[in-house]
């Protein structure tokens, strides 16, 4: 499913400029402004995200600090959805934009978002 469609269906609040392909991923920076998202991961433990989140996927988390951006970028994620109405500070949003990482906020909790992503056809890390 395309990222733009996920944003629309889940009624996500966009926190960063239009999504781009991060440097080092297929096509390089800006190559795909609406990437196809087929995988997702939900965790608040950043070491777990780093070890297990699928590259090219989306992360759902409560964490809103700068380390989330560093870990998501290093893991090759395309987007982060902050659950439970949480929003990062402006410096975190600016860093994500610099990294080519799309950030979104949702009032829904992590459990609901994970279920809805699964219903939309996203799956977790490949076995």
Q: State the DSSP string of the chain.
A: -BHHHHHHHHTPEE-SSS--PPTTSTT-TTS-SS-B--BEEE-S-HHHHHHHPPTT-EEEES--SHHHHHHHHHTT-SEEEE-TT----HHHHHHHHHHT-EEEE-SS-HHHHHHHHHHTT-B-S--
82 in Cβ contact with 102 (< 8 Å): no
pLDDT at 30: 46
For the chain, give the mean pLDDT: 90
pLDDT at 44: 97
pLDDT at 117: 97
pLDDT at 45: 97
**Domains of the chain, start order:** 3-119 (3.40.1390.20)
pLDDT at 125: 79
pLDDT at 32: 65
Burial class (CB in 10 A: 0-12, 13-18, 19+), 57: buried
pLDDT at 108: 98
82: phi then psi, degrees, rounded to nearest 5: -90, 125
pLDDT in tens, 12-69: 999 998 654 554 544 434 446 789 999 999 999 999 999 999 999 999 999 999 999 9
Average pLDDT over residues 69-87: 97
pLDDT at 17: 82
pLDDT at 126: 76
99 in Cβ contact with 78 (< 8 Å): no
Of 72, 81, 71, residue with least CA distance to 114: 81
């Amino acid at each position: 499913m395309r990222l733009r469609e996920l944003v629309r269906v889940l009624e996500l609040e966009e926190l960063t400029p239009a999504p781009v392909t991060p440097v080092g991923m297929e096509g390089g920076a800006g190559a795909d402004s609406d990437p196809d998202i087929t995988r997702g991961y939900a965790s608040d433990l950043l070491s777990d995200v780093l070890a297990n989140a699928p590259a090219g996927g989306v992360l759902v988390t409560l964490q809103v600090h700068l380390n989330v951006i560093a870990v998501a970028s290093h893991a090759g994620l395309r987007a982060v959805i902050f659950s439970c109405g949480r929003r990062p500070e402006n410096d975190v949003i600016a860093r994500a934009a610099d990294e080519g990482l799309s950030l979104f906020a949702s009032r829904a909790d992590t459990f609901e978002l994970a279920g809805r992503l699964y219903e939309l056809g996203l799956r977790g890390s490949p076995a």
